[in-house]
Chains A and B, each alone.
Chain A
Amino acid sequence: MKLNILIVGVGGQGTLLASKIFGNYAMLINKDCKLSEVHGMSQRGGSVVTYVRIADKVYGPLIDKKQADVIIAFEELEALRWAGYIKDDGLIIVNQQNLYPMPCIIGKADYPTDIYERLSNYKASVHKINALDIAARLGNLRMTNIAVLGFACAILKLDKPTFIEAIKQSVSAKTLEGNLKAFEEGFGSV
């Protein structure tokens, strides 16, 4: 198994936790793994990307353009921004949430309305989930990221019990129950 995943979103959406879960998943299946994270300034609402590489032996922590097997986007505009990284036969998983960047907020640029049309220009399959709704239903918007991961786990056909174990190793005991519910809902919404 060789998996290059780009997790993209907006600073504060929980991309770091998501990548850590993939890292623990790699450990549980005895694969090598590297995660490259973004800390610091971009975490304040900027565009963020985390690279996840899982294989028998991983060298560099980054993923080149057109080399990602999967892009997991926590926000629609970010899916489009990073789409150039997807492989021809790759998968793009998109959480249907819109967070307006500052140029759109102040009216200097328009938030694109043709995101899915433009994503369809890539030779990758696009899978959508409304994880924000799931998290809202469960009463905690912070669990949006885990609902997306549940969906991704199902789409990527990863081993579910192992993935759940990876979540257990990555989140605090206090939030575990809620996160597992979010995971199940996301998993089930395929």
Chain B
Amino acid sequence: MKKLLLGDHAVAQGAYEAGIKVAAAYPGTPSTEITEYAAQFEEIRSEWSVNEKVAFEVGLGSSMAGGRALVAMKHVGLNVAADPLFSFAYSGVNAGLVIAVADDPGMHSSQNEQDSRYYAINAHVPMLEPADSQEAKDYTMLAFELSEKYDTPVIIRLTTRIAHSRSFVEIGTRKEFDREYVPDIRKYALVPMNARGRHIKVEEREKQLAKDVNSFDINKVEHGTNKIGIVCAGSIYQYVKDALPDYSVFKLGMVYPLPIEKIKEFADNCDDVIVIEELEPYIENTLKANGIKCHGKELTGLQGELSSEKIKEIILGEKITTHIEQVPVRPPVMCAGCAHRGVFYVLNKLKLIVTGDIGCYSLGCAEPLNAMHSLICMGASVSGAHGMEMAKGKDYSKKNIAVIGDSTFVHSGITGLIDAVYNKSNITVLILDNSTTGMTGHQEHPGTGKTIKNEQTHALDFAALSTACGVKNVAVVDPYDLEAVEKTIKEQLEKDGVSVIVAKRPCVLLDKAPKLDCVEIEGCKKCGICLKLGCPAIRKNEDKSVSVDSTLCIGCMICEKVCKSGSIKKVAGGSK
């Protein structure tokens, strides 16, 4: 039987068939669907971990115990999990451990476009890169075998176009896998004297693998009539087949270590070799270091995604000319009825300096709210605000607020909060608690009271947690109540010590019931203040009055609260 699966799904399907016992991840586009898919299988204990480091450690625990495990994350998540990655690479595995990491060239939904392949080199961990969903499944299954054979975690690298493309996958059956747990202090307890011994093992296995990889059949040569040879992997292979059908191609299945001998042989039979790869010149530089002459980044550049169109342009000089329409841009926006909107309206109104974080509320930095001034990485809102307070002092921090979502707070905000209290800071932290991990598509987290399998569990109480961390000033507020939001923020900013405000209201998309309310505008005075909310349901008419799109409006009434002329009223009949 075949199924049309996302690359992400196929990784999970492969892991399922390989008999994994455990799947753990923190959601992150474009990797989220891996673990969502794995969670459907009863045989797999799956979890949303609080962050990628924890997910990795759950995976390594399962591996040590003798159960195969899959850990998934986006590229920046691997930064968070780098600590266990580098050390467990020394320990090696008992049952196989596979890490699926999804890079995002072009930054469709990320804050940078780092290249995860360097983690493989740096941690001395093998890395495979599939070029479609079938390969995503096959390579994942192979990765478990390699993990056990070479005694190492193995990374499957995806990019957005593989993770989020669907193609057909042949579905197989699950084969159970279980190993005995065997205590082995020298292997797993990495005190320096043991780690030194393990480092020798790492080098030995890597040497062996670098030799063996030359006979792996996932590295393929396709001879074409054109004697220019292209070396590529992943989605680039597909673009090359579309753009340069008659070229000779070396398709890499394993990107670390590279099959140098096999590529040398290929290069010897080509008139010229071009490496086509997105992001960093990793393959190119490795080939050059091994004496293989090739072209690469001087042609393709370091930024963004490639495509068959770009490859045709770069290699063949064939540029598709088409009229580029000048049309208004359509950036993502907070949904109509989003509870974050009013909060950012208030932050803007109060002219605060806002250190922000990662989630739907990142959109608070966009027009017209313009109320978030930094977004660096998960959790940096809290510790960053503390650093600003350290640099500029207590009075300054009365104009500064850290804004962080509930899921992000659990991921990396709690440590920063404890740090701020411990170090006698005076910051104010606003937790936007919408009871979900919103941007990645509504995943549960420790604050929601539900597991990935939708089972009831303990719900973390942010207010009580803050108190336990030593925060003296804790307040909870409804973000739809703008007056209360403004009053609470002003009060907490004035207080000495660390303050926490929890703005709590579930994401408007979680409620699937038909929306029965809507607003109506009558007697608009054309002041335009409601437009400062940036609600997609309100639009400006030619005569500068405003009107409401009843297909989008859900009747949250935030606009009514900012309207100074009382022209906005609730009526029945919203979007159904």
Residues of A with Cβ closer than 8 Å to B? 10-12, 19-20, 23-24, 26-27, 32-47, 58-62, 64-66, 77-78, 80-81, 83-85, 99-112, 118, 121, 132, 139-142
Contact = CB atoms under 8 A, between A and B. Distances in A.
A44 B335 contact: yes
B242 interface: yes
Interface stretch (B316-324, B406-414, B459-467): B316-324
Given A59-B242, A105-B539, A33 B4 contact: yes
Nearest to A84: B322
17 contacts: A23-B4, A35-B4, A35-B166, A37-B165, A40-B109, A41-B108, A41-B362, A42-B332, A61-B167, A64-B309, A80-B325, A80-B327, A100-B539, A105-B536, A106-B534, A110-B328, A141-B576
A40 B30 contact: yes
A170 B334 CA distance: 28
Chain B: interface secondary structure?
loop
Given A41-B439, A44-B360, A58 B167 contact: yes
B161 A140 contact: no
Contacts of A46: 330-333
B329 interface: yes
A84 B536 contact: no
Nearest to A102: B333
A113 to B, nearest CB: 10
A164 B96 CA distance: 43
A169 to B, nearest CB: 10
Contacts of A10: 330
B367 A108 contact: yes
Contacts of A12: 335
Given A81-B325, A102-B331, A105-B540, A59 B241 contact: yes
Given A42-B108, A106-B534, A60 B330 contact: no
A102 B29 contact: no
Contact of B335 (A37, A45, A109): A45
B452 interface: no
Contact of A60 (B308, B363, B440): B308
Given A45-B335, A59-B241, A62-B307, A38 B108 contact: yes
A60 B239 contact: yes
A107 B109 contact: no
Nearest to B6: A37
A102 B368 contact: yes
A61 B325 contact: no
Interface string B330-348: 1111110000000000000
Nearest to B313: A64
Contacts of B285: none
Contact of B320 (A60, A66, A110): A66
A39 B367 contact: no
A35 B325 CA distance: 25
B325 A84 contact: yes
A19 to B, nearest CB: 8
Contacts of A84: 322-325
Contacts of A112: 327-328
A41 B309 contact: no
A88 to B, nearest CB: 10
Contacts of B532: 106
Contact of A101 (B165, B235, B331, B528): B331
B476 interface: no
B6 A41 contact: no
A140 B514 CA distance: 9
A133 to B, nearest CB: 11
B439 A35 contact: no
Contact of A39 (B164, B368, B534): B164
A11 B332 contact: yes
Nearest to B531: A106
B366 interface: yes
Contacts of A103: 328-329, 367
Given A121-B323, A141-B575, A62 B161 contact: yes
Interface in B245-265: none
